[in-house]
């Protein structure tokens, strides 16, 4: 701790400025990338960006604050249904729709967070699972409002005229999603560096110790739940725009589990891990989707092959990089640094995300 304090002044750039500079750099790179690739790749890029928002939010809750949620797909559904209901018969500017979706998901998240703060371990998992199972049923039960199994359609945002008539709408959607993802990441990164972020971690590591240090444990947990729900709401809203449809089948338990697997594969508790996890989530189904009809295998085998490959990748990732892709990369970095400088590593196997070099 003393060493950390002594080192603090050497980081002369303020956190916000550093994060903003990184985000602008990433934005320029992604803008160039999205202009070079085809419309379908832009479409996938948008999906990655949307998942980054949801996965990063879940990672703050589960990885940073230590609350397990199996129900984040349902919180995305709240954002998506808010968007679809607002847009039904009205033409509302995108930014207002996004804000409304974030607000509604945060509200539900706060209510649920208050309940969740009283629950631990398997009870919390069970309660959030109930949310994931139960919420989509409401859409089927009140089908006159929510459109039932067929869901509600959403018109994707069209590119503005100044981009030209030939500008692919998928690229415009990708830009919107990337912008939203970068804003979310910058805000979360700053939050995690602040005293709020430190309380999140303190509560995760030892509740009693955190309480003795003057942190209101329950309130901190509710805060984390709200931040996480807001991200899920934003992702859900963009998801509705992106897919053009909000239907209960799109927000089943499978989605919640996918989000959870993304934070584990990417790296628990790290924002860059959320990016890695989201890329895996999108890219594997996109690559394996055509196998069923292109391989001359018995259809019972070929039909299930993409799912089998997806499952195998998850299992392999767990075996090869148990700390997630981000943890694996950071460990490689540490190893490389040790080899080149010859300095003995003080790394003890647990990665501290604030200072991953182990210093």
Whether 62 and 203 have beta carbons less than 8 Å apart is answered as: no
**Which tokens hold the place of 277?**
């996890």
The only residue of 125, 245, 284, 314 in contact with other proteins, by rule CB under 8 A? 245
Question: Within 256-285, which residues bind other proteins (CB under 8 A)?
Answer: none
Whether 240 and 80 have beta carbons less than 8 Å apart is answered as: yes
Contacts of 74 (CB under 8 A, 6+ apart): 131, 132, 134, 135, 136, 251, 256
Residue number, 65 or 258, with CB nearest to other proteins: 258
Listed ranges 32-40, 53-61, 65-73, 335-343: which one lies at the site for other proteins (CB under 8 A): 32-40
Least distance in Å: CB of 155 to other proteins?
Answer: 8
> What is the CA angle 253-276-82, rounded to 5?
45
Least distance in Å: CB of 338 to other proteins?
Answer: 29
The only residue of 20, 111, 114, 292 in contact with other proteins, by rule CB under 8 A? 292
Question: Within 139-168, which residues bind other proteins (CB under 8 A)?
Answer: 140, 148-151, 153
In 3D space, the residue among 283, 268, 281, 261 whose CA is nearest the CA of residue 326 turns out to be 268
In 3D space, the residue among 273, 322, 334 whose CA is nearest the CA of residue 64 turns out to be 273
Listed ranges 84-92, 179-187, 286-294, 331-339: which one lies at the site for other proteins (CB under 8 A): 286-294
Residue number, 148 or 358, with CB nearest to other proteins: 148
312 binds other proteins (CB under 8 A): no
Within the chain, residue ranges assigned H as helices are 2-7, 15-36, 39-59, 72-87, 94-116, 121-141, 143-146, 169-193, 195-205, 207-212, 217-243, 253-266, 271-288, 291-294, 299-302, 305-320, 324-341
Question: Within 42-81, which residues bind other proteins (CB under 8 A)?
Answer: 43, 47
Mark residues 166-195: x for contact with other proteins by CB under 8 A, - for none. Answer: ----x-------------------------
Least distance in Å: CB of 289 to other proteins?
Answer: 5
- Residue ranges that bind other proteins, judged by CB under 8 A: 38-41, 43, 47, 137, 140, 148-151, 153, 170, 239, 243-245, 247, 249-250, 252, 286, 289-290, 292-294, 298-300, 303-304, 306-307
């Amino acid at each position: 701790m003393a060493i950390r304090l002594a080192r603090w002044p050497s980081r002369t750039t303020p956190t916000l400025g550093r994060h903003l500079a990184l985000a602008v750099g990433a934005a320029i790179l992604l803008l160039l990338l999205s202009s070079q690739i085809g419309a379908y790749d832009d479409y996938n890029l948008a999906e990655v960006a949307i998942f980054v928002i949801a996965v990063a939010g879940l990672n703050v809750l589960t990885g940073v604050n230590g609350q397990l949620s199996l129900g984040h797909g349902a919180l995305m559904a709240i954002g998506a249904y808010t968007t679809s209901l607002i847009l039904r018969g009205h033409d509302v500017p995108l930014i207002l729709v996004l804000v409304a979706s974030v607000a509604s998901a945060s509200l539900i998240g706060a209510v649920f967070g208050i309940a969740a703060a009283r629950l631990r371990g398997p009870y919390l998992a069970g309660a959030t699972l109930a949310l994931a199972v139960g919420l989509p049923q409401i859409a089927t039960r009140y089908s006159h409002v929510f459109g039932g199994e067929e869901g509600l359609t959403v018109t994707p945002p069209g590119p503005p005229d100044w981009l030209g008539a030939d500008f692919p709408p998928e690229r415009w959607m990708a830009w919107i999603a990337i912008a939203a993802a970068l804003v979310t990441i910058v805000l979360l990164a700053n939050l995690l560096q602040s005293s709020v972020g430190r309380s999140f971690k303190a509560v995760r590591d030892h509740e009693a110790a955190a309480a003795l240090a003057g942190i209101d444990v329950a309130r901190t947990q509710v805060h984390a739940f709200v931040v996480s729900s807001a991200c899920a709401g934003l992702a859900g809203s963009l998801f509705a725009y992106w897919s053009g449809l909000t239907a209960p089948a799109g927000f089943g338990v499978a989605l919640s589990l996918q989000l959870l697997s993304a934070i584990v594969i990417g790296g628990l508790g790290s924002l860059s891990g959320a990016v890695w996890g989201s890329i895996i989530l999108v890219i594997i189904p996109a690559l394996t989707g055509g196998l069923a009809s292109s391989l001359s295998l018995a259809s019972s085998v070929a039909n299930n092959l993409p799912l089998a490959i997806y499952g195998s990748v998850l299992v392999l990732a767990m075996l090869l990089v148990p700390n997630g892709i981000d943890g694996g990369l950071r460990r490689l970095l540490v190893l490389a640094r040790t080899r080149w400088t010859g300095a003995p590593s003080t790394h003890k196997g647990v990665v501290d995300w604030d200072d991953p070099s182990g210093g």
